[in-house]
A = this chain, B = another copy of it.
Amino acid sequence: MSNLKEVAKKANVSITTVSRVINGSDKVNPKTSERVKKVMTMLDYQPNRVAQRLRTANGRSKLLGLIIPDIKNQFYSNIVRGIEDVAYGNDYAVILCNSDENPNKERFYLEVLKSESVDGIILPPILQFGEEIENIIKTGIPIICFDRKLGNKNVDTVVIDNEMGGYIATSHLIDKGHKQIAILTSSILFSSFSERQKGYERALKENGIEVDKRLIREGDPRSSDNAKLMTTKLINLDNPPTAIFATNNLMTLGAIEAINEQNLKIPEEISIIGFDDVSWAKAITPPLTVVKQPAYEMGLKAAELFFRKVEDKSSEPVEIVMEPSLIIRQSTASPPK
């Protein structure tokens, strides 16, 4: 791989001049610049980004760090696309890290990203990570949070209104006449799930329906098998729910599997509403009613916040709240008599 020195030699200038040409300094004679550029293409020269980064203390690495909990979750892969599209448009590459919600992995990747001196990190925070993230912020690397909020920390954030999502879903079911509505949700560690649950409970209360603890099931949101198990148990309850609200797409999948396995007809015998408008939602029979999160758009916004921060480190952190929307298909109907 050729370097500055070679180019300089071949173009009969100093390496400084070549550097100036690379960085588009205007203090270079157009003719010289022309000559240098020609040599650069001739030698197929590409500046060494590693060296560039080492030299310039807060130079741009043109690298965006992205930590996501689960690449296999369509919700996240949509977000990745949104971020990636904006990044590519800005000549940035994305270092994607799959954290699995595993604190050790997350810590490892955070270290890597820091020491790769990426220009910023986009991630969905976990509660336990106040400290690590605090440290990153101290180093001056911009942090953008998405999907979940980082407690009271003062960082750029894009979330959807999860409480509203839960409320919309539950209200829809109530409107259809359901009173026994189960929810498949996750531990309170993830703010997004607890907020969906909050919305669920508010909808029930506002409609004079008592919150029934038996119908609230918490499990690993990354495991459809777990959701399947929970659903099977729900179905076999003495006084089973007539509708199920699954708070993410993997749980929805598990719920549907369980319902099919128990030979219950959707929506005649049981209604189901999912979270996330996944690709297969409208292909299944009956098509799935869902609360749609604008995942791709969320990725877009997060990336935009990232570049805003990169441009101007002193910009005030903002919190963007996006609206979920209800997409009514045929998996929800009135409860059986």
Q: Are A95 and B98 in contact (CB under 8 A)?
A: no
Pick from B256, B260, B283: contact of A256, CB under 8 Å: B283
Q: Give the total of A residues in contact with B, Cβ under 8 Å.
A: 53
Closest-by-CB residue of B relative to A255 is B283
Distance A274 CA – B242 CA, assembled complex (angstroms): 33
Pick from B84, B135, B257: contact of A98, CB under 8 Å: B84
Distance A50 CA – B53 CA, assembled complex (angstroms): 7
Which residues of B sit under 8 angstroms from A111, Cβ to Cβ?
A: 46
Which residues of B sit under 8 angstroms from A128, Cβ to Cβ?
A: none
Which residues of B sit under 8 angstroms from A72, Cβ to Cβ?
A: 74, 77-78, 81, 279
Which residues of B sit under 8 angstroms from A51, Cβ to Cβ?
A: 54
Q: Are B139 and A1 in contact (CB under 8 A)?
A: yes
Per-residue interface assignment for chain A, residues 46 to 72, with 1 indicating a CB less than 8 Å from any chain B CB and 0 otherwise: 111111011000000011000000011
- Copy number in this complex? 2
In the complex, how many angstroms separate the beta carbon of A327 from the nearest chain B beta carbon?
15
In the complex, how many angstroms separate the beta carbon of A76 from the nearest chain B beta carbon?
9
Q: Are B115 and A50 in contact (CB under 8 A)?
A: yes
Which residues of B sit under 8 angstroms from A115, Cβ to Cβ?
A: 46-50
* 17 interchain pairs, CB-CB under 8 A: A1-B114, A46-B111, A49-B116, A50-B117, A71-B77, A71-B80, A72-B77, A72-B279, A80-B98, A88-B108, A91-B108, A93-B116, A94-B98, A95-B95, A224-B279, A250-B279, A278-B280
* Given A63-B95, A81-B98, 19 more pairs with CB closer than 8 A: A1-B139, A44-B135, A48-B115, A49-B112, A50-B50, A50-B115, A50-B117, A54-B54, A72-B74, A72-B77, A84-B98, A93-B116, A94-B95, A94-B98, A95-B96, A96-B96, A253-B280, A257-B282, A284-B285
Kindly list the 8 A-B residue pairs having the minimum CB-CB distance in the complex, ordered from nearest: A96-B96, A280-B280, A49-B115, A93-B112, A284-B284, A256-B283, A84-B98, A95-B95
